[in-house]
Amino acid sequence: MKVAYYQQDIVWEDTGANLEKVKEAVSRLEPDTDLLILPEMFNSGFTMNPEKVAEQMNGHVVTFLKELASEQGIAVTGSTVILENEKHYNRLLVVSAGGKVEHYDKRHLFSIGGEDKNYVKGKEKLITSVGNMKVLPLICYDLRFPVWSRNQNDYELLIYIANWPASRREVWNTLLKARAIENQCYVIGVNRIGKDATISYAGDSMVLNAKGHVISSAKGEEGIFYADLDLDELTAFREKFPVWKDADKFKLL
């Protein structure tokens, strides 16, 4: 499976400008791409002013993603602010080329930054299929909570989309590697770059294999980057070294 990920310099709270950036970047997308991954809140930045950018599920952002997926013939994922039943969600969307829309609402809200005061946390994970792989997509702060991402032999690719500050980049790099090793899966971390109203972001978007080796990295540049994921190679490694068989069983309350 060929994956593209966009390390984006997000324009603060400006949906129109950000959708134009994505559209322009995707115009140069390499052929045979199966999945495009966008950062957390790719159309606004990590805002604590959800009322400024929130849309409903039939709004402009979701429509844009559906059109993008259809035109390119790929699956697309990224998160945006959704207003539903008078509540705001940091919602990750997975849109198929055929127009199917699935979603995951961020479970672990960053209380240090007031996210829990402005958004409602999600209750369920989403495991979906893209290409020949089962995928678990999560958001930013979720990375710090390994039980939530525990692989029970039910996915091959773990995705984290983020607005992760440069001041904590070592934590980002370390935990992505840990999640890959402990779950014996591919891990893709897609972070923004640039600066929002007050915080700088280093990017450090990357793709790791199940041994924790970096196979693709965006480093500190804006742009679209690529990785080829080999399901046969992953399956062979997991069968040869079946750590997952000895894992503890966790039951989430």
35, burial (CB in 10 Å: exposed 0-12, middle 13-18, buried 19+): buried
User: What pLDDT score does 202 carry?
Assistant: 97
User: CATH no. for residue 114?
Assistant: 3.60.110.10
Residue 183 lies in a domain: yes
Query: How many C-beta neighbours within 10 Å does residue 105 have?
Result: 21
User: What pLDDT score does 201 carry?
Assistant: 98
User: What pLDDT score does 249 carry?
Assistant: 81
Owner of token pair 């001041």? 167
Residue 188 lies in a domain: yes
Phi, psi of 206 (to 5 degrees): -160, 165
Q: How many domains does the chain have?
A: 1
User: What pLDDT score does 252 carry?
Assistant: 63
User: What pLDDT score does 79 carry?
Assistant: 98
Residue 108 lies in a domain: yes
Residue 102 lies in a domain: yes
Residue 251 lies in a domain: no
Residue 252 lies in a domain: no
Residue 253 lies in a domain: no
Report the distance separating Cα 207 and Cα 224, nearest Å: 13
Q: 188 lies in which domain range?
A: 2-246
Task: Confirm whether pTM is higher than 0.85.
Answer: yes
Cβ atoms of 53 and 15 within 8 Å: the answer is yes
Name the token pair of 152: 């029970």
Report the distance separating Cα 233 and Cα 249, nearest Å: 26
Residue 138 lies in a domain: yes
Q: Mind spelling out the 3-state secondary structure of the chain?
A: CEEEEEECECCCCCHHHHHHHHHHHHCCCCCCCCEEECCCCCCCCCCCCHHHHCECCCCHHHHHHHHHHHHHCCEEEEEEEEEECCEEEEEEEEECCCCCEEEEECCCCCHHHCHHHHCCCCCCCCCEEECCEEEEEEEHHHHHCHHHHCCCCCCCEEEEEECCEHHHHHHHHHHHHHHHHHHCCEEEEEECEEECCCCEEECCCEEECCCCCEEEECCCCCEEEEEECCHHHHHHHHHHCCHHHHCCCCCCC
β-pairing, 75-84 vs 35-37, is parallel
- Known catalytic residues? 40, 106, 140
Q: Is the dihedral of CA 23, 25, 30, 36 positive or negative?
A: negative
Please list the pLDDT of the chain residue by residue as tens digits (253 residues): 999 999 999 999 999 999 999 999 999 999 999 999 999 999 999 999 999 999 999 999 999 999 999 999 999 999 999 999 999 999 999 999 999 999 999 999 999 999 999 999 999 999 999 999 999 999 999 999 999 999 999 999 999 999 999 999 999 999 999 999 999 999 999 999 999 999 999 999 999 999 999 999 998 899 999 999 999 999 999 999 999 899 888 776 5
**Spatial CB neighbours of 70, under 8 Å, sequence gap ≥ 6:** 97, 98, 99
Q: Residue 83: name the closest of 44, 137, 36, 135 by CA.
A: 44
